[in-house]
């Protein structure tokens, strides 16, 4: 028995994005800390902020401008030959 109607595939794809997953992970962390005590919420928020800041500083720039826009068929075949 289903309590909720099924979600369309477009909405399911949005729920799988890293931004949404990080948001819900933070929400679960704060909720779990709140169940322990109020001071633990502060500790969890500080650690989560520290982790997000470290991730932002250590992340490499993977923007579309840094990668080659055009990949030729011959380049792909050459990479395949070298990988074998």
- Helix, strand, coil % over all residues of the chain, rounded to 5: 75, 0, 25
Q: Is the pLDDT of residue 80 over 70?
A: yes
pLDDT bucket at 20, cuts 50 / 70 / 90 = confident
In this prediction the pTM is 0.48
CB 44 within 8 A of CB 30: yes
pLDDT bucket at 11, cuts 50 / 70 / 90 = low
Q: What is the pLDDT of residues 30-64, one digit of tens each?
A: 888 989 988 888 888 888 888 878 877 887 765 55
Q: In the prediction, which pLDDT does 15 show?
A: 66
């Amino acid at each position: 028995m289903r309590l909720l109607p099924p979600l369309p595939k477009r909405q399911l794809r949005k729920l799988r994005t890293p931004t949404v997953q990080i948001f819900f992970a933070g929400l679960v962390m704060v909720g779990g800390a709140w169940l322990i005590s109020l001071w633990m919420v502060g500790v969890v928020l500080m650690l989560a902020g520290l982790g997000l800041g470290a991730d932002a500083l250590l992340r490499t720039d993977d923007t579309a401008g840094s990668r080659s826009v055009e990949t030729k068929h011959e380049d792909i075949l050459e990479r395949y030959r070298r990988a074998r």
